[in-house]
Amino acid sequence: MHFEIKSKQPSGKWGTQAGYAFIWEAYRRQYKPQLVANTSRKHFVMAGTSVTMNGYKSYSANDSIRRFQWLFTDGTRAQGPEVTRIYARPGVYSEVLKVTDKAGNVDYDFASVHVLDPANPDLYVPRIHAAYWPTRDNKVDELITFKVRSFGTTEGEEVWDFGDGSPLAKVKSDGNVDPQAKNGYAITTHAYSKPGDYLVKVQRARSDGVAAVFHLHVHVTR
């Protein structure tokens, strides 16, 4: 289900109010996080042009962020709150930001970079969405449910890497052929044998190799 907030706009007319500030404040009050990484999420560029990502909106309860580390889809890394990259190939890239504070707390967020082919801008790249449940209080040896759905392609299949060295898991969603389909998301489960912070990756590619990548951060305790 989707909800939106309506409010009076500067024009005097009613319109949609961005909800991020309200949701963030509610989350902060309820869960009192010490550290939250924030990449400002989505970017849209043409292949061959640069895109700048940053973690300036990351939050520390005591203003003690010590390190910003980036891990990119191609395996390269960078340091610092802001990075600039050029993408030569179309696709949807998921770039990892790891933030560490002075107490050693860590958190992760993911910048989604949609890169289009300038020679064929009307052919949009495939997209992917994933989620898991429970989203909090996951424990060792307890099953976690993972769901994924791709958009813009029915080719290929989704491939899960749960970040713990276990075998890859393959599923296939409907590609959003029927947006209202009850079983549109493909489902799998996984349990972790050790506590820790796991970076989960799922991706799906068209037959021409253009791929969409999505990350999740799963925290597991004893």
| Residue 181 token pair | 């389909």
Instruction: Identify the band that residue 30 occupies on the pLDDT scale cut at 50, 70 and 90.
Output: very high
Is residue 84 predicted with pLDDT exceeding 70? Answer: yes
Share of the chain above pLDDT 70, in %: 99
179 and 204 fall within a common domain: yes
Residue 20: what pLDDT? Answer: 86
The last residue of one of the domains, among 97, 122, 147, is 122
Sheet architecture: strand order including 186-190 = 127-133, 144-151, 186-190
196 and 107 fall within a common domain: no
Is residue 88 predicted with pLDDT exceeding 80? Answer: yes
The last residue of one of the domains, among 122, 149, 165, is 122
Closest CA to 195 of 147, 145, 137: 137
* Contact indicator for 216, 132 with CB cutoff of 8 Å: yes
113 and 131 fall within a common domain: no
Residue 41: what pLDDT? Answer: 80
151 lies in which domain range?
126-222
Can you tell me the mean pLDDT for 12-33? 93
* Contact indicator for 190, 143 with CB cutoff of 8 Å: yes
Convert the pLDDT of each residue in 160-197 to its tens digit: 999 999 999 999 999 999 999 999 999 999 999 999 99
Residue 7: what pLDDT? Answer: 93
Residues 165, 86: Cα–Cα separation, whole Å: 30
Residue 214: what pLDDT? Answer: 98
Convert the pLDDT of each residue in 94-121 to its tens digit: 999 999 999 999 999 999 999 999 999 8
- The answer to whether residue 2 is domain-embedded is no
* Residue 147 half-sphere exposure toward CB, CA atoms < 13 A: 10
The last residue of one of the domains, among 122, 150, 178, is 122
pTM of the model: 0.92
CATH of the domain at 131: 2.60.40.10
Quote the radius of gyration of the chain (alpha carbons, Å).
Answer: 19
107 and 147 fall within a common domain: no
Residue 212: what pLDDT? Answer: 98
Residue 27: what pLDDT? Answer: 94
86 and 141 fall within a common domain: no
Residue 4: what pLDDT? Answer: 84
First CA to last CA distance, the chain:
33
For the chain, what is the domain count?
A: 2
Residue 1: what pLDDT? Answer: 52
Convert the pLDDT of each residue in 125-139 to its tens digit: 999 999 999 999 999
Residues 50, 143: Cα–Cα separation, whole Å: 40
Can the peptide bond before residue 134 be classed as cis, meaning omega within 30 degrees of 0?
A: yes
Residues 119, 108: Cα–Cα separation, whole Å: 34
Residues 55, 173: Cα–Cα separation, whole Å: 32
- The answer to whether residue 150 is domain-embedded is yes
- The answer to whether residue 13 is domain-embedded is no
Residue 192: what pLDDT? Answer: 98
